[in-house]
Structure 1
């Protein structure tokens, strides 16, 4: 894969846009979801993190 730094910055910018939409549009809902996330145990959080990593790797592999 020919990787250009502009692509990395564009991806980072898009990630910030997506991550910022929910707290911007619904701060109360975002706060409630964060409280629910804090209530999860370590195993659940690790599973979610692993699933995100694997999905990201599969997406990059598929796009290559």
Structure 2
């Protein structure tokens, strides 16, 4: 459970830094995402999920 909280904390830090340091960049990125068709956004989301699982598996294999 502690590892999950650590992961969520790290995600919130990275997300918060992005919004705090470059809010206009976030707005442009959201506009670009709106321009993509829904299937492309779904594919990007699934690729992120798979990438996250691969990273977690790799960290687990290294003993983290």
Per-residue Cα deviation, 1:13-61 (whole angstroms, up to 9, x for no partner): 1000111111110111111111111111011101101111111122222
Residue equivalent to 2:18: 22
TM-score, normalised with respect to structure 1: 0.79
Unmatched 5+ stretches in structure 2: none
TM-score, normalised with respect to structure 2: 0.79
Unmatched 5+ stretches in structure 1: none
**Higher RCO, 1 or 2 (CA under 8 Å, sep at least 6)?**
1
SS of structure 2 residue aligned to 1:9: helix
Q: CA deviation at 1:63?
A: 2.6
User: Which of 46, 51, 55 is equivalent to 1:55?
Assistant: 51
